[in-house]
């Protein structure tokens, strides 16, 4: 995975340009090239091209050249190439995944409406691409993030793909890794109409069990990456809520995607992709 290009899909939107900048930093950290890919709609079949199509195409080419030039100006040692593809955006960008590690996208593009958190292309590729997909929101002016990578982890079923991606990213960045494991009270106590109150000693015993589960899930990876500082973070929330809360102080959230290529995005990664306050890396199971 480490010798592949970082690929970013761009369309001139603010999230698309933020994705290109994030991808450039990632490519530089990995020591690989960066490919910026713009997808143009296919030519109409059986009817003339719409008025202004040629001017639109020239404008798109200028946008790609401008993005390449700007990144090259800021990072002169980075190998950056711009490409134009034609077709349905999700299908064309999926074709780039063979060389992508990861594929980087803005959370939404030029379509959609104000307030839309996640566009249709990003949503489809996040669930179906065979490589890790990083979703980057438009940058918020003046917002500073800690150099922390947050990993969402089910300690009972740890996803090796997400674990390796998170530890590798933290190692490259010299960042702390916060491993977040969410848990809930047993069924008799979880419902709002539960007839019994949870005793403090019971809750403490249950939480100790969850902490031990998380430590066990992290043990092998701590040994493999001894230079990465790890904070085990057990939270009494739903998994999605725990990760969204943790994202407020993070530079990147990493979560397993579940399923496999061609499988729609599951409930927890879907919610995190919509509501996280920082870029989100969704990693297929390995």
For 97-152, the pLDDT digits (tens) are 877 789 999 886 544 434 444 578 888 888 778 889 999 987 654 455 667 999 99
pLDDT of residue 46: 59
Closest CA to 276 of 113, 97, 122: 122
What confidence tens digit (pLDDT) does each residue in 268-279 have? 888 898 889 899
pTM of the model as a whole:
0.86
CB 183 within 8 A of CB 152: no
- Dmax over CA atoms of the chain, in Å, equals 74
Question: H or E element: which one contains 54?
Answer: helix 53-74
* Pairs from 25-30 (Cβ < 8 Å, separation ≥ 24): 26/102, 26/104, 26/134, 27/78, 28/75, 28/77, 28/78, 29/172, 29/173, 30/2, 30/6, 30/101, 30/172
What does the alpha-carbon distance between residue 211 and residue 179 come to, in Å, rounded to a whole number? 11
- Low-confidence stretches of the chain (pLDDT < 50) are 1-2, 110-117, 141-142, 261-264
The length of the chain is 286
Q: Are the C-beta atoms of 73 and 66 separated by less than 8 Å?
A: no
Can you give the pLDDT at residue 49? 61
What is the predicted pLDDT for the residue at 88? 84
């Amino acid at each position: 995975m480490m010798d592949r290009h970082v690929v970013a899909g761009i369309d001139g939107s603010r999230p698309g340009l933020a994705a290109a900048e994030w991808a450039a930093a990632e490519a530089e950290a990995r020591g690989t090239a960066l490919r910026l890919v713009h997808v143009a709609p296919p030519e109409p079949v059986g009817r003339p091209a719409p008025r202004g199509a040629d001017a639109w195409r020239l404008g798109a080419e200028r946008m790609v050249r401008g993005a390449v030039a700007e990144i090259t100006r800021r990072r002169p040692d980075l190998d950056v190439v711009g490409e134009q593809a034609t077709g349905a955006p999700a299908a064309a960008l999926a074709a780039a995944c063979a060389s992508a590690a990861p594929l980087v996208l803005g959370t939404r593009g030029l379509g959609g409406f104000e307030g839309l958190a996640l566009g249709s292309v990003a949503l489809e590729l996040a669930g179906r691409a065979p490589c890790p997909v990083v979703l980057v929101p438009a940058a918020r002016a003046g917002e500073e993030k800690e150099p922390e990578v947050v990993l969402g982890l089910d300690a009972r079923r740890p996803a090796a793909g997400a674990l390796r991606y998170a530890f590798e990213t933290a190692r490259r960045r010299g960042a702390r890794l916060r491993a977040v494991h969410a848990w809930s009270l047993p069924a008799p106590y979880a419902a709002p109409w539960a007839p019994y109150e949870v005793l403090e000693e019971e809750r403490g015993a249950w939480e100790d069990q969850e902490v031990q589960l998380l430590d066990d899930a992290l043990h092998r990876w701590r040994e493999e990456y001894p230079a990465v500082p790890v904070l085990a973070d057990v939270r009494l929330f739903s998994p999605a809520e725990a990760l969204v809360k943790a994202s407020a102080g993070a530079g990147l959230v990493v979560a397993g995607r579940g399923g496999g290529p061609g499988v729609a995005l599951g409930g927890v990664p879907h919610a995190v992709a919509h509501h996280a306050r920082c870029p989100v890396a969704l990693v297929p199971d390995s």
